[in-house]
């Protein structure tokens, strides 16, 4: 099952709606909602947006999941991912310091590469 299909199904169930109810709110046939949830079809952009609105979630959430889901898809180093999750919980001032440190480290690394 694709991530989109899984998120559609989970969002619908969390909202406590049937496929028929989502279909009525979104203005599509209920069989199509089932096809989207089983990854047998992909909704058009317009239908996709109407379904997201019916489920009261963002289209970005349906496509990509939470920010944690996105991070897990892009950051392969589990230790680094865990560190970023811990940083996310820090006060804003401390997060800003970490960002500045990372910017400086990346800049230094880029300069070293250019000089070699």
Say which DSSP state 33 is in.
H
H-only helix segments in 2-91: 3-15, 19-26, 30-37, 45-55, 59-64, 67-74, 78-88
Domain closes at, from 24, 42, 65: 65
- The CA distance from 85 to 81, in Å, is 6
Ramachandran angles phi, psi of 5, nearest 5°: -60, -45
CB 32 within 8 A of CB 23: yes
Residue 53 domain-assigned (yes or no): yes
Same domain, 85 and 47: no
111: containing domain = 77-115
Tell whether the model's pLDDT for residue 108 goes beyond 70: yes
pLDDT, tens digit (0-9, with 9 covering 90-100), for 36-87:
999 999 999 999 999 999 999 988 888 877 767 667 767 788 888 889 889 9
Using alpha carbons, list the distances in angstroms from residue 68 to 3, 19, 41, 43, 113: 14, 27, 26, 25, 31
Same domain, 55 and 86: no
Share of the chain above pLDDT 70, in %: 91
Number of CB atoms found within 10 A of residue 103's CB: 10
Overall number of domains in the chain = 2
Same domain, 43 and 12: yes
Q: Would the pTM of this model clear 0.85, i.e. be above it?
A: no
């Amino acid at each position: 099952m694709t991530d989109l299909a899984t998120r559609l199904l989970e969002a619908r169930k969390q909202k406590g709606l049937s496929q028929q109810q989502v279909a009525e709110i979104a203005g599509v046939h209920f069989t199509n909602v089932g096809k989207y949830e089983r990854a047998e079809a992909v909704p058009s952009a317009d239908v996709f947006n109407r379904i997201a609105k019916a489920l009261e979630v963002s289209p970005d959430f349906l496509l990509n999941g939470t920010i944690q889901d996105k991070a897990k898809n892009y950051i392969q180093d589990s230790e680094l991912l865990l560190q970023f999750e811990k940083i996310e919980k820090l006060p804003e001032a401390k997060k800003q310091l970490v960002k500045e440190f990372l910017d400086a480290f990346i800049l230094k690394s880029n300069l070293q590469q250019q000089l070699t």
